[in-house]
Amino acid sequence: MSVDTTALNRDRHDLSGREDVWLFGYGSLIFKADFPFLESSPATIVGWARRFWQGSHDHRGTPEAPGRVATLVRAPGAVCTGLGYRVSPDVFDHLDFREKNGYLRFTTEMTLADGRHCDGLVYIATEDNQAYLGPAPESEIALHIARSRGPSGDNAEYLLRLANALRELDIDDKHVFEIERYLRSC
């Protein structure tokens, strides 16, 4: 799959005629909501786990020295908590550009904090995208993050802001907090 997924995402879902669409954010979309939204709420999806297994060529690294950012991997039975945003469909023009480095939109069933169930869209970087880095021990991921930076800033800032945002939302994520622990001792 091409590393730039903008065109693929544009053609994936017909959002015409829709007044609003729910988006599930689990990584930078939690701590950097640089788009207008109509409503937001903590939300969960089932069967997925947050992992720093995606390479970043355009935000927290470069094509020559990619950073490491979050994606979701299949994890039967796992519950991933993030933030749901109800947005106008035109927001996806901005999001498709922002998430263009290997992320594809998928439809997911999500549960909002007040118990509502709805279908939403989520950006996932699957293992067949050219920027995918895959698993590594948390200690190595922390070292990788510590030395990476890109046009959006230090890779460490991404990890630390996400960890703080998860804590504020009372979300326990052992993978993220373990990387944070190693990173703070680098």
- Which residues participate in catalysis according to the annotation? 99
- Taking the C-alpha atoms of 160, 166, 167 and 169 in order, what is their torsion angle to the nearest 10 degrees? 150
In the complex, residue closest to ligand SIN by CB? 27
Nearer to ligand SIN, 138 or 155 (CB): 155
CA angle 153–159–160, rounded 5-degree value: 95
Q: Please, what is the minimum distance in Å from the beta carbon of residue 41 to ligand SIN? A: 15
The reply to whether 129 sits near ligand SIN by the rule CB under 6 A is no
Q: Can you point out the beta strands (E) in the chain?
A: 21-25, 39-56, 67-87, 104-112, 117-124, 149-150, 153-154
Pick from 27, 67, 102, 120 the residue near ligand SIN by CB under 6 A. Answer: 27
Rg (CA), the chain: 16
Nearer to ligand SIN, 108 or 182 (CB): 108
Pick from 69, 87, 141, 166 the residue near ligand SIN by CB under 6 A. Answer: 69
The reply to whether 99 sits near ligand SIN by the rule CB under 6 A is yes
Query: Do the beta carbons of residue 48 and residue 75 sit within 8 Å?
Result: yes
Q: Cβ atoms within 10 A of the Cβ of 107, count?
A: 13
Nearer to ligand SIN, 124 or 142 (CB): 124
The reply to whether 104 sits near ligand SIN by the rule CB under 6 A is no
Question: Which has the closest alpha carbon to 94: 142, 179, 35?
Answer: 35
Pick from 26, 48, 52, 53 the residue near ligand SIN by CB under 6 A. Answer: 26
Nearer to ligand SIN, 27 or 61 (CB): 27
| Tokens 């470069």, residue located | 62
Residues that bind ligand SIN (CB under 6 A): 25-29, 69-70, 99, 123
